[in-house]
Chains A and B, each alone.
Chain A
């Protein structure tokens, strides 16, 4: 039973560029959440997708957007990259009801030069 898979594992971009990160949830899970984890900090909630719609959003600018497909996989898009966007981006999946434990992928390490 595959867990949460994320791609790519590492990515290097320059300021101003755009990036797309991908996530496949654990089998049987229909909800995907995205987190940003800066070095030495806890994960910060970006947003959550359920039934192909953004269900809740954290305190992140509109440069951060996402999408969920009918097979529950998800993408995180970040436009106009800033140096401060350098972080580990984590995807987590869970079942539909709120508050359920989440299963995390190993993340995508994004470095902005």
Chain B
């Protein structure tokens, strides 16, 4: 069975500082990995995805993530955050060729002025 662990429930950071949101997954088969963002009272929006190929994945809004197979991690990074990045971020995994997506519990990013 697959599982996703987001290691931080909340991450406070000052505006223009770098940030890393950590995600570890568990799976016995090869996987696809995703990061989604959720703003208040909205659905989830895809930030980036890893399907295959380069382990460094670039997404929207200046975010990037690195797939580390040996450490089963997929951490999300941004070099300089803005107030507008304040939101809930979810890491997700699905089996290659599978149909079910498993989400982590989320990390609340709070950007302070």
Contacts and interface: CB of A to CB of B under 8 A. Distances in A.
Interface residues of B, number: 26
A98 B41 contact: no
Contact of A99 (B41, B43, B96): B96
A4 B43 CA distance: 10
A92 B92 CA distance: 14
Given A99-B94, A99-B97, A99-B98, A106 B103 contact: no
Contact of A101 (B42, B46, B96): B46
Contacts of B13: none
Interface of A: 4, 31, 33, 35, 40-45, 48, 50, 55-56, 58, 90, 92, 98-99, 101-107
28 contacts: A4-B43, A33-B101, A40-B106, A41-B105, A41-B106, A42-B4, A42-B103, A42-B105, A43-B90, A43-B103, A44-B103, A48-B99, A48-B100, A56-B98, A56-B100, A90-B43, A92-B43, A98-B94, A98-B96, A98-B97, A98-B98, A98-B99, A99-B98, A102-B44, A104-B43, A104-B45, A106-B42, A107-B43
